[in-house]
Amino acid sequence: MISNNGATEFTTFSVADSGPVPIDRRTGQRYMSVLQAGKIITSTMQELCLIRNISSGGMMAEVFAPLDDNEHVEIEFKAGKIVSGIVRWVVDGRAGVEFVEKIDVHEVLAPHGGAMAPRAPRLNIHGQARIAIGDKHETVQVIDISQGGVKVSVSAMLERGADVVVEIDGLPVRASVVRWVEGGYAGISFNRTMPLDQVAFWAAQQETQRGFAGSPSVPPMAAAH
């Protein structure tokens, strides 16, 4: 289902031991519906995905950037859990991933109790954003992005609590609020969630044009921990 803020959320799941297979290769096994944003981390890149089916042994997800059969990946779920897996098939924009070890689906997907709600998965993708406060405009560096917000290099005009407008080429313009400013960076929350597919395709384009823009000394799979 879709939450009040527009983000995808957990619904139901299967407790089968094996990973999902394409429809025409199924053997009578039923995989219940899941609808939750996640992050796929490979040795060279990160991408958002939309997890649709899951069991203790694997998952099926919509993907927005190329994956290879038998590629080793890590899946970061919205609740914060990271699971290792192997891509077993890729068909028509969907991928089946077999988990290296069986998981507790409740533990991996269900939000944990507490004051802080799980945040949307973030991608370490560098780009540029234009920030407007009234009639003032400034271009800043994007450090990471999610459906719900963006982390940028700090600007003299950014102050905690300020109402701003964020423009990123290839993404919808968003009225936003500066949530924090610290250590040379600022966290900006969008007033309206970005569509997952638009953020995912934008991020994939950045990867293609510039290559992975995380720390050059730490591979993406290591940096996720």
For residues 129-147, give the mean pLDDT.
Answer: 95
Return d(Cα 90, Cα 67) in angstroms, integer. 7
Q: Are 142 and 152 in contact (CB under 8 A)?
A: yes
Residue 176: what are its φ and ψ, rounded to 5°? -145, 175
Determine the pLDDT at residue 24: 42
Residue 79: pLDDT over 90: no
Determine the pLDDT at residue 115: 46
191 confidence band (pLDDT: 50, 70, 90): very high
Residue 223: pLDDT over 50: no
Indicate the helix (H) or strand (E) that contains 132: strand 127-133
Q: Are 23-109 and 127-223 equal in CATH topology? A: yes
Closest CA to 53 of 72, 75, 30: 30
Closest CA to 96 of 80, 73, 77, 78: 73
For residues 119-143, give the mean pLDDT.
Answer: 91
Fold that domain 23-109 belongs to in CATH? Thrombin, subunit H (2.40.10)
What percent of the chain has a predicted confidence (pLDDT) above 90? 60
Residue 153: pLDDT over 80: yes
Structure tokens at 145: 């992005």
DSSP letter string, 104-131: -HHHHHSPPSSSSPPPPP-B---EEEEE
Q: Taking the domains of the chain in order of start, what are their residue ranges? A: 23-109, 127-223
- Counting Cα atoms < 13 Å in the Cβ hemisphere of 171 gives 34
For 37-56, the pLDDT digits (tens) are: 999 999 988 999 999 999 99
- CATH code that applies to domain 127-223: 2.40.10.220
